Amino acid sequence: MKILVTGGAGFIGSHLVERLLELGHSVWTLDNMSTGRLDFLNKVTENNRHSVIHGSVTDKYLLRGLMERVDVVFHLAAVLGVKNTVENPLKVIEGNIDGTRNILELAYQNRVKVVFSSTSEVYGRNTKLPFSEDSDRVLGAPSIHRWCYATAKALDEHLCFAYAEKGLPVSIVRYFNAYGPRQTSSQYGGVIPRFIKAALRNEPIEVHHDGSQIRCFTYIQDTVEGTVATISSQANGLAFNIGSEHSITILNLAQKIRELADSSSPIVHVPYERAYGPGYEDMPIRIPDISRARRLLQYEPSITLEEGLSRSIAWFRQQLQEGRL
Ligand SMILES: NC(=O)c1ccc[n+]([C@@H]2O[C@H](COP(=O)([O-])OP(=O)(O)OC[C@H]3O[C@@H](n4cnc5c(N)ncnc54)[C@H](O)[C@@H]3O)[C@@H](O)[C@H]2O)c1
């Protein structure tokens, strides 16, 4: 198939591009390089089934030319990260809505299948666990910027479902804390890269609040397998939770990373208001119900947290040694 990956030079996108090429597809990567890195695509730059286009999903003219050529678009381009959400709400809202509208409009005109990358953040602070795809969204007031990313992604999902009703083949993947090599987003909120970098430098590992927050971390390979599986027409018109069911507290995660990295870092607690300013709200626990993905996509996460963290630590260690971080 001919496939466009927006945000293909980013963390998840670059791994997805590699996998799609491995499967024999032809791939166009569209990225504005705002957080993506060209060297993340080093393994596939020589592949003659792959082209990289430096540009934005907000450039409708550029996008139209690409959408006329492809059968499927994986739309990952986005502005994300808790820190961005709190500090740059306009950037987050515009960065997540304008491009998605273009993608869906042009996909509809050209009968292109869309796979949209959403997030477990859409469930907000719902406490009924695990989250199934039809669970309620429970969010704080719109005056609190922290919720703008979840709201923008949820609006994107509404658009996807509306186009699905008009006949567009579209699937939504809701990622639960993907992590792994190339997750260089620590400056805007990725907890695993932040902890690994601190551990490798023997600097304090900063755990926000008391560290009792529970999350399910999903190794990139498992995230990508779930994403690729949604090409199937079985997945049309549906959202899928894509994530591991294995949960861990943030404090235990910090301890595990310190141990695996053989680090002497102290673990220190930082109140939310010091990390994100006054009034910050977090969700205490996030666990996915992945039965729909299991049933329709044969999705089964297979990389253990220990294995995934060890591979990630090895990658970050090398990046630090090469002065790339
Ligand atoms: N990493 C996670 O745990 C996670 C969790 C939930 C959802 N997601 C979603 O997965 C997708 C990929 O996230 P990621 O973690 O790889 O982040 P990332 O920042 O590494 O990747 C995003 C990519 O999009 C590019 N980009 C941003 N705006 C663009 C634009 N206007 N035009 C073209 N390219 C643009 C960036 O340069 C970057 O390469 C995003 O849609 C994100 O919301 C990620």
- 13 CA closest ligand 1 atom index: 16
The response to whether residue 6 sits with its C-beta less than 6 Å from ligand 1 reads: yes
Verify whether ligand 1 is closer than 6 Å to residue 76 (CB atom): yes
> What tens digit of pLDDT does each residue of 65-117 get?
999 999 999 999 999 888 888 889 999 999 999 999 999 999 999 999 999 99
Residue 12 CA: nearest ligand 1 atom is: 16
Q: List pLDDT tens digits, range 109-137.
A: 999 999 999 999 999 999 999 999 999 99
pLDDT tens by residue, 258-312: 999 999 999 999 998 888 888 788 889 999 999 999 999 999 999 999 999 999 9
- Percent of the chain predicted with pLDDT > 90: 90
Q: Which domains does the chain have, with CATH numbers?
A: 2-176+220-243+288-302 (3.40.50.720)
Mutation probe of ligand 1 site: the residue of 14, 31, 40, 92 with most atoms within 8 A of C-beta: 31
Give per-residue pLDDT as tens, 25-50.
Answer: 999 999 999 999 999 999 999 999 99
Ligand 1: which of 12, 14, 114, 215 to mutate, most ligand atoms within 8 Å of CB?
12
- Cα(145) to ligand 1 centroid in Å equals 19
Instruction: Give 213-269 as a 3 state SS string.
Output: CEEECEEHHHHHHHHHHCCCHHHCCCEEEECCCCEEEHHHHHHHHHHHCCCCCCEEE
- pLDDT, residue 82, reads 80
Residues 101, 32: contact at Cβ < 8 Å?
Answer: no
Backbone torsions φ then ψ of 29, nearest 5 degrees: -100, 125
The pLDDT value recorded for residue 189 is: 61
Q: Is 78 in the pocket of ligand 1 (CB under 6 A)?
A: yes
